[in-house]
A and B are shown apart, each in its own frame.
Chain A
Amino acid sequence: MVFLALVISVIVGNILVSAAGRNFFSSGNLLDVFSATSVLGIIALGQTLVLISGGVDLSMGVVASMSTLIAAGVMDNKQGNIGAGVGFALLFGVLFGLFNGILIGLFKINAFIATLGTSLLLSGYLATNFHGSYGQVPAAFHKIGSTNIGPMPLSTLIMWSGAVLFYVTLKQTRYGFHIFAVGGDTSVARLSGIRSIPVLIGVYVICSLSAAVAGLILASRTGVGSPTIGTDSKYTLLAIAAAILGGTTLSGGVGSIIGTISAVTFLGVISNVMSVIELNSFLQDVVRGSLIILAAALYAKKSSLRITPRFSRAKV
């Protein structure tokens, strides 16, 4: 379904872009499309995993912001500190994910509530201690955000390799099957001998880690750390929207990485077309919002037909 939306958006986008006198498939334009998808893509990958496990992670945006601050702060424009900066940012992601995972897995707190709580905790800390940009990344690290290989930015390649990794994990490994099982029905998974707690903790660690990676890419792109960069662009909510458009359900147990990546690319194509035809940037949000609702409505209508009715009269 989302592939259809992607194909339609590419065709319509091509027409609109040609009407504006530009070529959609020029390497410069494709570069724009791809680089717009990298950060959202990485966040959406982590979010997909969490959604499949039956939860949701609302803290990804703040974690990405914190990761840019840690990276830029630790690096402090010194070439030798790149490793330490990346390491600390990733470590923060792991620890934060561990915290989320323990709250949700061990203490059985609803994922929405727990991650809303932890994200508010962190955002209060960010708002109090950081005002404006902070730190500076060295030129070598800055290159990661600006290097292109052919029509593909390096950051998008990172996103794609992450997607392949996630795809293989979900489809081929024991851990991937466990995530689906726990998301489908925790008690059935438990009765089948799966320890759901480590699975859930692992999922949230991976999710926060991917938010931290997204933060590193943002830092390498802007060159500085910023306390609001992850939340301003509504990455968290757009990532949930992308995952849902890609066929993942909010109730867990169902989802696909390919769908998520297609949905992210779909959103990227829309953004790109809107900038090329020079649509007012505020109206872009309007279009994005309407398309999310429209696509979700079409998708939900279709998928609800696929459910075999168990009780013929109970059509709710």
Chain B
Amino acid sequence: MKKLGFHFDLGILIKITINLLKRLSKNATREISSGRKRSVLYGNPNMAIYLLLFLIFTLIIIKSPAFAEPGQLIRFIARVSPLAIAALGQYFVILSGELDLSIGAIVTSQVVIAGTLIGGNEARVMPVLVFMFIFGGLVGLFNGIIVAYFRVPSLIVTLGTMLVLTGSVYAWTGGSVGDNPVDSFRQIGREGLKNIPIVGILPYSVIIFLLLTSIAVIAVRRPFGKAVLSVGGNRLAANSSGIQVSFVKIKVFVISSLCATITGILVVGYAGVGQSVGAGYEFATVTAVLLGGVALSGGRGWLLSAIAGAFTLEALFVLLNFYSVPSTYRDSVQGAIILIAVALTAREKSALRIFKLRSKN
């Protein structure tokens, strides 16, 4: 593309992003202040993420047109799937007004469990898989019960779970990394259905991701989704409307842990067994969900926007890779995008609140 004289640098990228988001927030406020019908943008403050995702994709494709080929795109989706699935779980937790910091530790411990228990034994794949799901479910159940019945802030509970899980994994393996599980197990995260038209190979991880997303989309529209939303929005009101708040909270943590378990299974496929594979997942999922415009205080946010947040984050890393920015700057980029994107949406909301207060007086 350089032949055509296109030259984009990061400065321009950031400027475009900021302008885009600014315009979005301005539009939203103007619509309201002129007293007209609520605009689409105001109704969905989470729209910004799709524009950002589109922008980043455009920049990637300008830099490397091959990225737009179906095969490459599918590969990209496969790479995002583990994070997107974990973010799915975190979305429900954040929507209910809580926070799960144990996701990274669950991913790590599931990976180590798979490596240690399965090892080279083909026959153990199924039983261990079942065990992993039970284990994940139990961790979520524990988090949920402590949060719901003992009223401990979820930050503290999941921090404790994180310490306990990583500590026991290290103690169990004696600090040494176990072997990789048999290939048939790793294929879940690595291989896919072959000879598919257009895309060539359809990775299992993409299938699992799409399946889980559809289930989640249905769940959000069913009473369960509404219950989570109202618990996050106002616990007392939810309780008065007949929702069993504690039960909803427990369910949410179980979902999050099960999603983290699936992430762990997929991660073993391409990253192998290691003690730091899950590190950073807890904050990466929080970043993705917040990028999707989900309110950290709970009760507000779209599921698909949260998933788009995970895609944006991963796409941004790809883009930086093309601009040969050192991979150690990933953290910084993540931080910058949190500050830029979330800051602007937060300001927009507070501006609206002030206006509402004024209009009442």
> Given A113-B346, A124-B328, A293 and B157 touching (CB < 8 A)?
yes
User: Is B72 positioned at the interface, with any CB of A under 8 Å from its CB?
Assistant: no
Query: Which residues of the other chain, A, contact B330 by a CB distance below 8 angstroms?
Result: 124
Interface residues on A, range: 35 or more
Residues of A254-298 at the interface with B, using a CB-CB cut-off of 8 Å, are 280, 282-290, 292-293, 296-297
| Cβ-defined contact, A117 with B335, below 8 A | yes
Identity of the chain A residue whose Cβ is nearest the Cβ of B325 in the assembled complex: A128
Considering the chains assembled together, what is the distance between the CA atoms of A116 and B265 in angstroms?
A: 28
Query: Which residues of the other chain, B, contact A300 by a CB distance below 8 angstroms?
Result: 150-153
Considering the chains assembled together, what is the distance between the CA atoms of A247 and B168 in angstroms?
A: 28
User: Is A8 positioned at the interface, with any CB of B under 8 Å from its CB?
Assistant: no
| Cβ-defined contact, B236 with A119, below 8 A | no
| Cβ-defined contact, A297 with B152, below 8 A | yes
User: Is A110 positioned at the interface, with any CB of B under 8 Å from its CB?
Assistant: yes
Identity of the chain B residue whose Cβ is nearest the Cβ of A113 in the assembled complex: B342
**Closest CB of chain B to A57's CB: distance in Å?**
13
One digit per residue, 1 when the CB lies within 8 angstroms of any chain A CB and 0 when it does not, for chain B 301-333 equals: 000000000000000000000000010111111
Which of B152, B239, B342 interacts with A296 by CB under 8 Å? B152
User: Is A140 positioned at the interface, with any CB of B under 8 Å from its CB?
Assistant: no
Considering the chains assembled together, what is the distance between the CA atoms of A161 and B357 in angstroms?
A: 45
Query: Which residues of the other chain, A, contact B236 by a CB distance below 8 angstroms?
Result: 311, 314, 316
User: Is A39 positioned at the interface, with any CB of B under 8 Å from its CB?
Assistant: no
| Cβ-defined contact, B159 with A118, below 8 A | no
| Cβ-defined contact, A289 with B151, below 8 A | no
Considering the chains assembled together, what is the distance between the CA atoms of A117 and B170 in angstroms?
A: 29
Number of chain B residues close to chain A: CB under 8 A: 52
One digit per residue, 1 when the CB lies within 8 angstroms of any chain B CB and 0 when it does not, for chain A 64-89 equals: 00000000000000000000000000
Q: Give the number of residue pairs across the A-B interface with Cβ within 8 Å.
A: 157
Identity of the chain A residue whose Cβ is nearest the Cβ of B357 in the assembled complex: A187
| Cβ-defined contact, B286 with A293, below 8 A | no
One digit per residue, 1 when the CB lies within 8 angstroms of any chain A CB and 0 when it does not, for chain B 285-306 equals: 0110010000011000000000
User: Is A250 positioned at the interface, with any CB of B under 8 Å from its CB?
Assistant: yes
Considering the chains assembled together, what is the distance between the CA atoms of A109 and B336 in angstroms?
A: 13
Query: Which residues of the other chain, A, contact B166 by a CB distance below 8 angstroms?
Result: 285
> Given A244-B153, A244-B156, A300-B152, A282 and B167 touching (CB < 8 A)?
yes
| Cβ-defined contact, B329 with A124, below 8 A | yes
**Closest CB of chain A to B164's CB: distance in Å?**
4
Query: Which residues of the other chain, B, contact A168 by a CB distance below 8 angstroms?
Result: none
Query: Which residues of the other chain, A, contact B331 by a CB distance below 8 angstroms?
Result: 120-121, 123-124, 127
Considering the chains assembled together, what is the distance between the CA atoms of A197 and B37 in angstroms?
A: 34
**Closest CB of chain B to A306's CB: distance in Å?**
12
**Closest CB of chain B to A157's CB: distance in Å?**
29
| Cβ-defined contact, B150 with A290, below 8 A | no
Query: Which residues of the other chain, A, contact B152 by a CB distance below 8 angstroms?
Result: 293, 296-297, 300
Which of B168, B235, B338, B347 interacts with A282 by CB under 8 Å? B168
Query: Which residues of the other chain, A, contact B150 by a CB distance below 8 angstroms?
Result: 296-297, 300-301
> Given A282-B167, A285-B163, A296-B157, A117 and B245 touching (CB < 8 A)?
no
> Given A282-B175, A286-B167, A103 and B343 touching (CB < 8 A)?
yes
User: Is A237 positioned at the interface, with any CB of B under 8 Å from its CB?
Assistant: yes
| Cβ-defined contact, B163 with A116, below 8 A | no
Residues of B153-177 at the interface with A, using a CB-CB cut-off of 8 Å, are 153, 155-157, 159-171, 175
User: Is B334 positioned at the interface, with any CB of A under 8 Å from its CB?
Assistant: yes
Query: Which residues of the other chain, B, contact A119 by a CB distance below 8 angstroms?
Result: 335
Query: Which residues of the other chain, B, contact A128 by a CB distance below 8 angstroms?
Result: 326, 328-329, 332
User: Is B350 positioned at the interface, with any CB of A under 8 Å from its CB?
Assistant: yes
Considering the chains assembled together, what is the distance between the CA atoms of A286 and B170 in angstroms?
A: 10
Query: Which residues of the other chain, A, contact B350 by a CB distance below 8 angstroms?
Result: 108
| Cβ-defined contact, B171 with A280, below 8 A | yes
User: Is B133 positioned at the interface, with any CB of A under 8 Å from its CB?
Assistant: no
**Closest CB of chain A to B165's CB: distance in Å?**
8
Query: Which residues of the other chain, A, contact B235 by a CB distance below 8 angstroms?
Result: 316
Query: Which residues of the other chain, B, contact A240 by a CB distance below 8 angstroms?
Result: 155-156, 159
Which of B101, B240, B333 interacts with A124 by CB under 8 Å? B333
| Cβ-defined contact, B163 with A103, below 8 A | no
| Cβ-defined contact, B286 with A116, below 8 A | yes
User: Is A159 positioned at the interface, with any CB of B under 8 Å from its CB?
Assistant: no
| Cβ-defined contact, B156 with A296, below 8 A | yes
Identity of the chain A residue whose Cβ is nearest the Cβ of B171 in the assembled complex: A282
What are 19 inter-chain pairs, A to B, with CB distance below 8 A?
A107-B343, A119-B335, A121-B336, A123-B331, A124-B329, A128-B328, A282-B175, A283-B167, A288-B163, A290-B160, A293-B146, A293-B152, A296-B152, A296-B156, A297-B150, A301-B150, A316-B235, A316-B239, A316-B245
Known: A108-B346, A282-B175, A289-B161. 17 other contacts (CB 8 A): A110-B342, A117-B335, A117-B339, A120-B338, A122-B335, A124-B331, A124-B332, A124-B334, A125-B332, A237-B159, A241-B160, A250-B153, A292-B156, A296-B157, A297-B146, A314-B240, A316-B239
Contact surface of B with A, Cβ cutoff 8 Å: 101, 146, 150-153, 155-157, 159-171, 175, 235-236, 238-240, 245, 283, 286-287, 290, 296-297, 326, 328-336, 338-339, 342-343, 346-347, 350
